[in-house]
Structure 1
Amino acid sequence: MSSSENTTPATDVPVAKSDAQWRQELTPEEYRVLRQAGTERPYTGEYWDTHTEGVYQCRACGSRLFTSREKFDSHCGWPSFWAPLAEGTVRYLHDRTLGMERIEVRCAKCDSHLGHVFEGEGYDTPTDQRYCINSISLRLVETDAD
């Protein structure tokens, strides 16, 4: 089994870095989205329409979060997944910003903002959930061709 096929989360040890360390390691836009819960503009991110097979990692810490098997075309302008790679890879927070009730999705390992999850929108997926994730929060590691 190649490492990209392993579906267990990365180590459970949380990543603890200072704000200064995050600012040094991330670009200003990565920092704005990952550490300040910003959002990239729709249809501008690297992965919104990608169909490449692989594993999507957290751009901040490298934790494996989603795979291309759960990715689907929602036509919303951001990468959409119907489930995370495994239980415990992401965590959820109630988000009441901008006058809306939403569920924020964060990396369980480094607490970086990824996007939001929506339910009951009628997509023909196994979970009827749409994990709407910022491309800039992710890094795609392509599956090895055997």
Structure 2
Amino acid sequence: MTGMSTPEVSPSGFSLSPPDAEERKALAADLSDAEAEVLLHHGTEAPFCGGLLDQKDSGVYCCRLCALPLFRHKTKFESGTGWPSFWAPFDEAHVTAVRDTSYGMLRIETLCARCGSHQGHVFPDGPPPTRLRYCINSVSLEFVPDGAPLRDPLQRGDNKHLTTA
């Protein structure tokens, strides 16, 4: 998790350059209303209804807006909270942490480091080894099974990375 300035390329080799206004508009045009509410307006889907909650296949969970890999299947765990939960990001540089004081609570919001879309929150009550619980909205993510090419909507060459990378 990083709150520092974003490098142009992550340690795992993915472009972290943000989309420009035209690219962002094109990415947003492809979202459903529920996806837009969460990703663009910091909403939250109802617990226990997300399509990725029970996903157990091997693969990578990517940002639904820009397709940056955010989490690996091997870090997913059952938290009982009703949202997909992970104990570590795909790459620390891919997730940005922001202080969130909405609803009278102090939380740490997680955003995609490339496009800034809302993913969920991170809490200090997860399992070892990190003791973190990234509580993420299913509609914020897209699952890419092992062996399938990653989507590259910004044409940054990120689809050359296999999900097993």
Q: TM-score, normalised by structure 1?
A: 0.87
Structure 2 SS opposite 1:66: strand
Query: Which consecutive unaligned segments of at least 5 residues does structure 2 have?
Result: 1-10, 149-165
Same amino acid, percent of matched pairs: 43
Does the C-alpha gap of structure 1 residues 103 and 9 become closer, same or farther in structure 2, counting only changes over 3 Å? farther
CA distance in 2 between counterparts of 1:66 and 1:9 reads 15
Q: Which of 132, 135, 144 is 2:138 aligned to? A: 135
Alignment of 1:81-92 (within 5 A): 81-92=86-97
The counterpart of 2:61, out of the listed 47, 56, 59, is: 56
1:66 aligns with 2:81: no
Give the 3 Å change call, closer, same or farther, for CA 87–44 of structure 1 in structure 2: same
Question: How far apart, CA to CA, are the structure 2 residues paired with 1:105 and 1:9?
Answer: 21
Number of corresponding residues: 137
Equivalent pair of 1:22/1:31 in contact (CA under 8 Å): no
Q: Indicate whether 1:8 and 2:12 are aligned.
A: yes
Deviation at 1:49?
1.8
C-alpha displacement at 1:16, in angstroms?
A: 2.7
Deviations 1:124-144 (A, max 9, x none): 321111000000000000012
- Gaps spanning 5+ residues in structure 1: where? 1-6
- Relative to its length, the structure with more strand (as a share) is 1
Q: Does the CA contact (< 8 Å) of 1:9 and 1:89 recur in 2?
A: no
